[in-house]
């Protein structure tokens, strides 16, 4: 079976999964992107995406290992779950981006 349905969940301030949802599609592929304001909502959103037929889910780096593990556990192997990760070369710029007072 070819990958035809992909889901991506992003965590960002003020995002509501009922409102912040987008689709991109071609005749053979559809990607659904859903935003959450708190990674703890990831399991709920991932379950809904799997129920909608998504075959693979990827999480933004903001979920971290614990948030990713919670999504994996909630799905119980129904679909593969991956997570964006950053290498050591990105540590300084990430720290600057997310440090207090940088907003």
Instruction: Tell me the domain boundaries of the chain.
Output: 5-78
This prediction has a pTM of 0.90
Number of H helices, E strands in the chain: 3, 5
Rg (CA), the chain: 14
Torsion of CA 72, 73, 76, 78, to 10 degrees: -20
Q: What is the pLDDT of residues 52-68, one digit of tens each?
A: 999 999 999 999 999 99
Average pLDDT over residues 1-12: 96
Give the DSSP H or E segment for 93: helix 91-98
Is 100 a residue whose pLDDT tops 70?
A: no
Give the whole-angstrom CA distance, residue 72 versus residue 63.
12
- Split at pLDDT 50, 70, 90, the class of 101 is low
């Amino acid at each position: 079976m070819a990958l035809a349905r992909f889901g991506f969940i992003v965590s960002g301030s003020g995002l509501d999964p009922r409102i912040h949802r987008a689709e991109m599609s071609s005749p053979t592929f559809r990607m659904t992107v859903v935003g959450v304001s708190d990674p703890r909502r990831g399991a709920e959103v991932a379950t809904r995406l799997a129920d909608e037929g998504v075959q693979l889910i990827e999480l933004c780096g903001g979920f971290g290992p614990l948030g990713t593990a919670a999504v994996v556990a909630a799905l119980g192997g129904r679909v593969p779950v991956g997570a964006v990760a950053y290498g050591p070369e990105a540590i300084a710029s990430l720290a600057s981006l997310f440090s207090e007072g940088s907003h």
